[in-house]
Amino acid sequence: MSSLEKINIVWNKVQLARNAKRPTAKVLIKYLINSFVELHGDRLYRDDVSVIGGIGFLGNMPITVIAQEKGDSTNDKIEKNFGMLHPEGYRKALRLMKQAEKFNRPVLSIIDTPGAYPGIGAEERGQGSAIAINLKEMIGLKVPFISVVLGEGGSGGALGIGVSDEIWMFENAIYSILSPEGFASILYKDASLAKEAAAIMKITANDLKEFGIIERIIPEVDGGLHLNNEYSFSILKEELTKKYIELKNLNIELLLKNRFNKFREVGLYEENR
Amino acid sequence: MNKFIDNRKARLERYKNIRGKNNNVAKVSIPDGIFVKCEKCGEPIYHDDLLANDYVCQKCNYHFRLSARQRIAFISDENTFVELFENLQTLNPLDFPDYKEKIDKYQETQEEFDAFICGRCSINSFEVALGVLDSFFMMGSMGSVVGEKITRLIEYSIANRLTLIIFAASGGARMQEGIYSLMQMAKTAAALKYHDLEGLLYISVMTHPTTGGVNASFASLGDINIAESDALIGFAGKRVIEQTIKEKLPEEFQSADFQKEKGFVDMVVNRKDLKNVISTILSIHKGK
């Protein structure tokens, strides 16, 4: 494959992941979850509507869902802050995870965010602290926990709800340390080179599967999820149902040990003695 | 491949020799001239005076950045530091263009393999596991090596029932290692969860700068969080926020005092007081 071809293939995925018609988390929740009851607020400051939290049934299994919501119409996108969470969004997510643990309910997180919101209020209320605490607490959460990257997995903002037993990605989703634009502006001092940056950042589902960082890829029809979401969502629902049964059958110590080891082992280095 | 490893080994030997000679001496932050200019007030300072004052400007109290080796020399009791896990080097997980060359260059100039130095030492006779990020090595950014060494240090402090102290000085995750860098945030935070469950003390000291993925992982998770004076501490970069909100941010935004006011650090401490403050805290936790 020529490098130009590769650049175009990766950039096509970036555009599909961000496509305005790509279904957002609320569409996926509606498909997956019966009797969904939405729960609001972090009990500390306010309800961050960039993240949807709630409880319901996956098949006949009670489940807690935490989902980053980008919004669909222009007004909705603005209200949802384009899926960029404030600290209270991460604290809301953690509150609902702890609640799930209390009632021994598995957790599903749906990741779709350009990143955690970079703003004054977000800094004043401890964006870094909120994400850090989530990372630490998720590793010890005593219920089966799966994360699915629906569109964009943007950096610490995505990881802040995604330290789970398994991470799955839709075929055209991306998961990266930084947006290709941000990356290009840091490395090349030119945000317009995002397309070139994206190709070397290794952010596609295939890349991450190859690295062993994600466990599964949910296929999409040619042309992307927005052309036929039923096809992908039905596969996801079936696979999730099977996987939760499998995870629920593991004893909790083993589940947590496996989860820890999954993250413990990430890294590529040599050690000369 | 063997030749490659031999080359690395030869270089390691060379660094070790250099290190042995220079262990407690300032290396990098100050050019070799006799006078240096304060980065804040512009006052010319005689280099030896600056060294005698722990790299703090006597006129305006500006805290110069320290290399990891300088920090270790300032904070640990003389000749007590025993380095651990010193031979780790990155393997360029994304095959990122020019990254290897960049690492080579930093290894040459900084005489370190990567941006985190750790080991065991005593601080006013209290035994601790100590780790220090080096902002002179690729902005102290966290990739596979930094994440692995931090995690090993945490595990070492669990195995040896030691208090853990980490000095952060980092711009955040290392972009050139992409998703591998991001996952080091989860890895270090995960290890701290188990440190926590063991009832052990972790003191996080945030020095200039503590931002991005380092701020959003281990650095914010101390039982006690200390900010050193003049440290910039925050998640998002000031420039990114200014571009987002299209406003200029005030000078004190994300300062050490700002973080204390907002409730994210327990205290702001001058460098000259740091060792005593830490050893007082250690004495209160004695036996842990």
pLDDT digits (tens, 9 = 90+) for A132-160: 999 999 999 999 999 999 999 999 999 99
Per residue in A6-33, pLDDT tens? Answer: 999 999 999 999 999 999 999 999 999 9
User: Measured between beta carbons, which residues in chain A are less than 8 angstroms from residue B178?
Assistant: 176-177, 201-203
Residue A69 and residue A82: Cα distance in Å, rounded? Answer: 7
Helix axes B144-159, B178-197, angle to 10 degrees: 10
Q: Are A175 and A221 in contact (CB under 8 A)?
A: no
A 83-112 residues inside an 8 A Cβ radius of B: none
Per-residue model confidence (pLDDT) at position B7 = 61
- Looking at the predicted structure, is the pLDDT value of residue B180 above 80? yes
* pLDDT (0 to 100) of residue A189: 86
Asked whether the predicted pLDDT for residue B28 surpasses 80, the reply is: no
- Asked if residue B222 has pLDDT above 80, the reply is yes
Amino acid at B250: P
Two tokens, residue A26: 């609320």
How do the domains of chain B map onto residue ranges?
65-284
For strand A269-271 and strand A174-176, is the pairing parallel, antiparallel, or unpaired? unpaired
Rounded distance between C-alpha atoms, residue A109 and residue A236, angstroms = 13
Question: pLDDT digits over A41-79, tens only?
Answer: 999 999 999 999 999 999 999 999 999 999 999 999 999
Cβ of residue A245 closer than 8 Å to a chain B Cβ: no
The pLDDT-based confidence of B29 (bands split at 50, 70, 90) is low
pLDDT digits (tens, 9 = 90+) for A150-187: 999 999 999 999 999 999 999 999 999 999 998 998 88
Question: Which pLDDT belongs to residue B47?
Answer: 87
Query: How many Cβ atoms sit within 10 Å of the Cβ of residue A19?
Result: 16
- Residue B21 has a pLDDT of 41
Task: Using DSSP, state whether A253 is helix, strand or coil.
Answer: helix
With a cut of 80, say whether residue A260 has pLDDT above it: yes
**In the predicted model, what is the mean pLDDT of residues B145-159?**
98
Q: Identify the pLDDT of residue B22.
A: 42
- Within chain B, strands assigned E span 35-37, 44-46, 82-84, 88-90, 116-123, 126-133, 163-170, 202-211, 224-228, 233-234, 267-269
Of residues B224, B233, B216, B64, the one with CA closest to residue B142: B216
Residues 6+ apart with CB under 8 A from B101: none
For residue B190, give the amino acid letter.
Answer: A
What pLDDT, on the 0 to 100 scale, is given for residue B24? 39
Q: What percent of chain B clears pLDDT 70, i.e. is strictly above it?
A: 88
Q: How much is the mean pLDDT over chain B?
A: 90
Q: What is the pLDDT of residue B288?
A: 46
Q: In whole angstroms, give the CA distance from residue A252 to residue A143.
A: 7
pLDDT value of residue B3: 59
Q: Is the pLDDT confidence value at B15 over 60?
A: no
How far apart (Å, rounded) are the C-alpha atoms in residues A200 and A11? 11
Please give the CATH topology (third level) of the domain spanning A3-264.
2-enoyl-CoA Hydratase; Chain A, domain 1 (3.90.226)
| Displacement of CA B149 from its chain's centroid (Å) | 12
Asked if residue A112 lies in contact with residue A152, where contact means CB atoms within 8 angstroms, the answer is: yes
Chain A closest CA to B208's CA: distance in Å? 16
Task: Write the residue in A119, A127, A268 that is nearest to B93 by C-beta.
Answer: A268
Residue with tokens 């512009």, as numbered in its chain: B42
pLDDT of residue A44: 98
Instruction: Kindly report the number of other CB atoms within 10 A of residue A180's CB atom.
Output: 23
Tell me, what DSSP letter sits at residue B248?
P
Q: Where are the domains of chain A?
A: 3-264
Q: What is the mean pLDDT of residues A213-219?
A: 98
The three-state secondary structure class of A270 is: strand
Provide the 3-class DSSP secondary structure of residue A224: coil
Tokens of A42: 């972090």
Least Cα distance to B144 among B110, B167, B176 occurs for B176
Q: Give B23's DSSP letter.
A: T
- List B residues 78-97 in contact with A (Cβ-Cβ < 8 A): 87-94, 96-97
Q: Any bridge partners for residue B228, and if so which?
A: B269
Tell me how far apart the alpha carbons of residues A236 and A215 are, in angstroms, rounded to a whole number: 13
**Mean pLDDT, chain A, whole residue set:** 96
Chain A nearest-CA distance from B240, in A, is 7
Averaged pLDDT for residues B200-224: 98
Q: What percent of chain B has pLDDT over 90?
A: 78
Interface test mutation site (partner B, options A124, A149, A177, A258, max chain B beta carbons within 10 A): A177
Chain A residues 108-137 within an 8 A CB cutoff of chain B? 116-120, 122-129, 131-133, 135-137
ipTM score over 0.90, yes or no = yes
Q: Which long-range contacts (CB under 8 A, 24 or more apart) does A222-227 make?
A: A224/A16, A224/A19, A224/A22, A224/A172, A225/A16, A225/A22, A225/A23, A225/A170, A225/A171, A225/A172, A226/A19, A226/A21, A226/A22, A226/A23
CATH 3.90.226.10 assigned to domain B65-284? The reply is: yes
